[in-house]
Structure 1
Amino acid sequence: MTSTTSLGENHTDPTAIPTATPSASPAPTPAGLGDDTGRAIAAERARIDALDARLIALVRDRMEVSEHIQRVRLAAGGRRVHLAREMEILDHYSSELGRPGRDLAMTLLGLCRGR
């Protein structure tokens, strides 16, 4: 799922489906629902779990790329954070997802600022 770039860094392939660590036990069928409905909900929850695993892998990949950019910028005498770029990202997420998207972007930016 990772590949080595020409810069020698490993990055997660965003198209790959990561192998998530399975829960201790499969999600139980919701109580009070028929077997078919319960199985359908359990299947959709499994899809959400797989999507969450992919999102986490993508966030980790984004963190690696951001860290590399920051190292290059600092080595060239620049600053770690590029505020104009961050505003572009906030605007993009906000225009696509509304206020919750902006909040999500803020969280991502916070995760991706130097450690």
Structure 2
Amino acid sequence: MSAIRDHLNVHAQALQLREQRNGILASNIANAATPGFKARDIDFQSALTQAIDDSQMSTTNSGHIPLGGQGGAQMLYRDPTMTSLDGNTVELAVEQMEFAENTYRYQSSLEFLNSKIRGLHQAMRGE
């Protein structure tokens, strides 16, 4: 059973991080006109690597402290090409492009994960 979990883990972790990132990007877009708002984002690749590494570590003794539950990826401030006069660092075109790309990648990961699950179901049924 752990082989199946390990096989699907990277895709499940990617979906969770993409969902988290969409929320961050949506917040940036919603605050595009908020004076002093600082645009945030995550380094997706680093966060995915960290999530996979954390999930692969397991406790071998009941006295060990589990690593899970760190609450997602570390949010970083986005460096704008041009800061507005009111201190807002949201560049709406950049945020919209990042949101669209992240949504596309989320959908692609979801379709790939569904395909893997369908394949596993067919293999278990002997099809």
- When the two structures are superposed, what TM-score results if normalisation uses the length of structure 1? 0.34
Q: RCO greater where, 1 or 2, for CA within 8 Å and sep 6 or more?
A: 2
